[in-house]
Structure 1
């Protein structure tokens, strides 16, 4: 690609209700939208950034502006990986480059990536941390959703009540829990005991990044997924022996280009693969939907928390997500 024009914008998406995880409460999501055009075709990408790494729109826009000349010269996606750090800024540009390439070549992104035609994906629907009874009611609202992920806060007695209440409300559901780095080593054994009793199938990121040694010697019959503990491709080997699943998020790793490499590396290291999201509109979910075709666990429910989404948008029905071709990544 050459002679590419770059536009960068910030958009705000209010949440339908406050969203609480360990240490944070969110009521909106600011996203950076990158638009690339060659004068005939247009490619778009969206990124939220990684909040716990201090990424915000101003920082992401500055990183993209610093590479404006390089991007405009028609740099390849592979060269972009070397020129920009992993994170939301590179993800937005990478996604726009994939989209533009699909428009220009007449091949969908899944074809460019050498993948099979995409299928609808069974995705988890996430319950924001709240009063146990309120979370149980929300789980009941998701009556036709087979897979539910529960946000915990590291408050062990309260978290136990949350898990038990949700399991009672949804005895049929696949349940996973996300600790978002909220648990100390001393709380992991009693937490896991309850999770086993309540037939929870996944424990995601219980300990803080940098405290992965807290998992050493821990007996856990369910897979433990690394989220904050794995950002990029080069960190995957360090997970072996402590984690069983890698949660790949495009905002963390810097885009679909690196994410596909991470999925391959995770398989080579005997790890399961999961795709997640930092919350955003359907435009942010579309590249992750391509990665999701390779994953064991899919968590792409970000748009359900928004008061409004884009049009066209991801379609959610009975716990499955489908990306329409006119959203992103297909020929014009």
Structure 2
């Protein structure tokens, strides 16, 4: 039986869509939204109709009949902690994402657009591997400050899908293996999977710096910076996310530009990029202790994993722990569709969402 799946992945200035027939990609497109277009709206939620209409218009203009679809899947948004895998989009989830999301984020629109399209033609809508997947063990939740509990926010969609691919490469089941995974993108997160469960993470604000995020910085110095410079909350948030990391040192967020600087003899650029790789390697070592060293495979993935320079720096520091597999790319559309296909084929069961 053929299953036709539409995957929708909203980002800050684009809405990516892809059509799959079973595991074959039929069409993939990033629908771009200009800054001027985005700035017309007061909130991300207000962008819903604009983004939904663009998706439908694009499909129609390419002669695709949505009545052929078997399911629609959206990027999982900022709902309170959920388990890994698929969830049916229901009215409870829709209301939560519309009126009380954990954080206002473009990914919240994924479920909403999927639900709207699916309802029109009487098929199911799903989310898959939300960024809010939280299966952490109790030990991992203790931060060291009673006011703050550690929670899980990571690049789980790509990380988990990549782990499944690597398990197949090793002729093993994903649920039988232990992985430490570093996702290297605009933000960097690390995760540890023990026999299929995401037991702990290093989020993008408590680990390595990245092209635009500061990551873990010395707390006392951060407090001094806030109070001594009288920076407001918005300014400090920008220093941590958007203007931090490589950008704060080299005024670029493009690793390819940094590598060009290095090739032209820029020693500072080499120091900064290698420092990022150094911190990623430290994070991998940190999470390896969660498994008491029983790591089957270390995976390096995400867009920056295309850089041989960065991945070799990391590999050289961590290969004593376990074999290292380089799996570049974010693979989000494939991960969404493949997860949904497993549900449609009865290989996985989609959960019901409850508050």
TM over 0.5: no
Q: Normalization by structure 2: what TM-score?
A: 0.28
Larger RCO, structures 1/2 (Cα 8 Å, 6+ apart):
1
Kindly indicate which of the two structures has a greater share of residues assigned to strand.
1
Larger Rg: 1 or 2?
Answer: 2
Kindly indicate which of the two structures has a greater share of residues assigned to helix.
2
